[in-house]
Structure 1
Amino acid sequence: MSYSRNHSTSSSSSSSSMAPPQSPSATSGTLHHVPPVSAFEISSSSSSSPNLLLWIGGLTDTYHSVDYVYQLASSLPQSWSLAQTNLSSAGSGWGISSLSQDVNEISSLVSHFRAQGKQKIVLMGHSTGCQDCLHYFASEDKRGDRATVDGVILQASVSDREAIAMDMDPTNLLHANSLAESWCKDGKGEHILPLNITASNFGRNPVSARRWVALSCKGGEDDYFSSDLDDETLKNTFGKIDKPLLILYGEEDEYVPKSVDRKALVNKWIPFVKGKVDEQSKELLGGASHNLNGDDQEVVDELIKRVSRFLTSI
């Protein structure tokens, strides 16, 4: 799911909790600090490139939590470089943050890179980073000065609501949702829910009632990718994307319920998009887990190939 969707501190269904420890490593690049957030532009042979892919991670993600990012950075078309964001919601901050806060911070980073001379900027979301990308276009609180981008990539655009339901006993889930909603109605939305309610999914990470509702309740702020959303809802979300779009939906994403027809779901979204949807979106990313950590190299190579083709077309 999107507990990173690497939720390494929680349930046994998480792929990252079973992954071997990472070896020490070092990555060269430039750290761009745009208070209170930063973005790390990874050095490559095209580090002075005029265009930028701005990569946005999921819940709990930080630098080096998703391995493919660094291979992708070194394999982009010559005119492109990659910068990984580190938003206020990174690491353990997601439980008291929001998509609205994320996209305002992303907009500040986009404006910074424009000022640095970047000509084309494409957002690439992983996991909850995909919700950030969609919120960037669709949110009702969209700021008039939100910086313009030139395209968007959604990798692992999975429903948090459906993924949480996969891991929780239905009775416990109903109780958690009801409690969080009642706290929000009582003006206690920023209060942290008891760990005995949230720990089965999110370990010891603090989660506010407001954020729980956003993630787990139908119609919550994060509820962009659930399989039961109606056409009117999709019209007001995917229908707001007016830039080129590439969707990379994993064939083996462990946070998607088995009852969901993944390919049909993606192809349900596509007709609502106003911008041009890359034809590669119609086919699932074969063999891909949620974050591709530990996947066969050919799976990572296919992701890199699709992203490179998409950027070249913009």
Structure 2
Amino acid sequence: MASSKPFSTIVHPYPTKGSPNRNACAYETGLPSARNAFVFVGGLGDGPHTVPYARAIARELEKHGELSYSVFEFKTRSSFSGWKFSCLANDVADISELVRYLRGLGREKIVLMGHSSGCQGLMEYAATSSDPVDDFILQAPVSDREASLVGKGSEGKRKLDEIVNIARDMISSGKGDHPMSHDHLSEDYDRPMSARRFYALHAKDGEDNYFGSDLPSEVARGFWGKFDKPLLILHSGIDRYIDPSVDKNAQIEGWKALCRPGIASRLSGVIPGAGHSVRQPAGEEWLVNTVVKFLKSTAAFPSSSL
């Protein structure tokens, strides 16, 4: 498992062209002379260096100099507590700015890896960004709506739908960016949170609902069909945010079938014995090795920057 000891990183301040994401910095670990960039995008509440396996990937990539990757982590407007008042469009804009900066450094290939709700950001990126990258990796792609209902039964669903309706009414009345009342949010929702963000995460038609099991197939196909570069999909075997009754392998196979032919990697699968953020040593090793195998499988593909 990734060490909690001090570690070195290269800090890259980079311009954001008037974006609200001012004073942006990216943090590079691994091979300083790498030709390619591996960009890690965390989930809700994450920021640079909060998910240890990103550093484990960097250490492993140092052993594979032929791939020539270093790992970048960075702070977006959604990082740490910012997610409660941000949105996917901001995530895409912030990722795009970093991608442009890395292209300016001469990085040939750029890989984006999303963890948890970072996966929603990458789904949105594939659909809307005009800054091409070379590979995508989704780890722990979960539905926030369904995650909030794990173990809560029909009564939990009824209560959630009530709060979603309150958020919808606030948005309709022009108060979408206002914080929801503490009376309407339990501690599960890491309050405060804007009505717009709550709705995006928890409504069936919310903009963050890319992974809901109740999405119509034609809607889901529209999402997954946006990927035009190699894609690796990895569930965690014992993810507490997925109902235990869900067949994770079957879900991944279903998503792969919605992608364009040849896009979804055969290496996609379930990380054995891994929790949501893969803090178990055996799970981390499996994840790191699979990521390296994936990068090797796409190494001969031409860079999207060419």
Partner Cα distance (2:220, 2:41) in 1: 22
The answer to whether residue 263 in structure 2 is matched with residue 276 in structure 1 is yes
Count residues in correspondence. Answer: 282
Candidates 272, 283, 288, aligned match of 2:274: 288
Could you state the TM-score of these two structures normalised by the residue count of structure 2? 0.88
Structure 1 residues 158 and 258, CA gap change in structure 2 (3 angstroms): same
The answer as to whether partners of 2:164 and 2:202 remain within 8 angstroms in 1 is yes
Instruction: Please show how residues 184-203 of structure 1 align to structure 2 within 5 Å.
Output: 184-203=171-190
The aligned counterpart of 1:25 is 6
2:93 maps to: 104
Gaps of 5+ in 2: 299-306
Q: Which amino acid in structure 2 is aligned with residue 70 of structure 1?
A: R
> Tell me, what secondary structure is at the counterpart of 1:237?
helix
Structure 1 counterpart of 2:192, which letter?
P
Question: Within the alignment, does 1:156 sit opposite 2:136 as a pair?
Answer: no
Return the offset for 1:126.
Answer: 0.3
**Aligned match for 2:284, one of 292, 297, 300:** 300
Separation of aligned partners in 2, 1:23 and 1:74:
14
Secondary structure of 1:249's aligned partner? strand
Q: Contact conserved, 1:55 with 1:124, CA < 8 A, in 2?
A: yes
Greater Cα offset, 64-73 or 116-125: 64-73
The answer for the alignment partner of 1:166 in structure 2 is: 150
Cα pair distance change 1:194/1:24, threshold 3 Å = farther
- Counterpart Cα distance in 2 of 1:150 and 1:51: 10
Q: What are the equivalent positions in structure 2 for 1:60-75 lying under 5 Å apart? A: 60-75=45-60
Letter in 1 for 2:9: S
Shift of 1:82: 0.6
What SS does the corresponding residue of 1:161 show, helix, strand or coil? helix
Please identify runs of 4+ aligned residues in structure 1 that moved more than 4 A.
Answer: none
The alpha carbon displacement at 1:263 in A equals: 1.1
> In structure 1, how many angstroms separate the alpha carbons of the residues matched to 2:9 and 2:95?
22
Aligned pairs for 1:119-268 within 5 A: 119-138=108-127, 142=128, 146-166=130-150, 169-203=156-190, 205-268=191-254
Distance in 2, matches of 1:223 and 1:291, equals: 20
> Which ranges of structure 1 fall in alignment gaps of 5 or more residues?
1-21
Q: Match for 1:83 among 58, 65, 72?
A: 72
User: Residues 227 and 260 of structure 1 are in contact (CA less than 8 Å); yes or no, is this contact kept in structure 2?
Assistant: no
CA contact (8 A) 1:32 1:41 kept: no
TM-score (norm 1): 0.85
Counterpart secondary structure, 1:154:
strand
Amino acid at match of 2:70: S
Percent pairwise identity: 37
CA distance in 2, matches of 1:84, 1:175: 37
Q: How far is 1:170 from its partner? A: 3.1
SS in 1 for 2:186: helix
Matched letter for residue 35 of structure 2: P
Aligned match of 1:4: none
**Alpha-carbon shift at residue 24 of structure 1 (Å):** 6.1
Aligned-CA RMSD value: 1.7
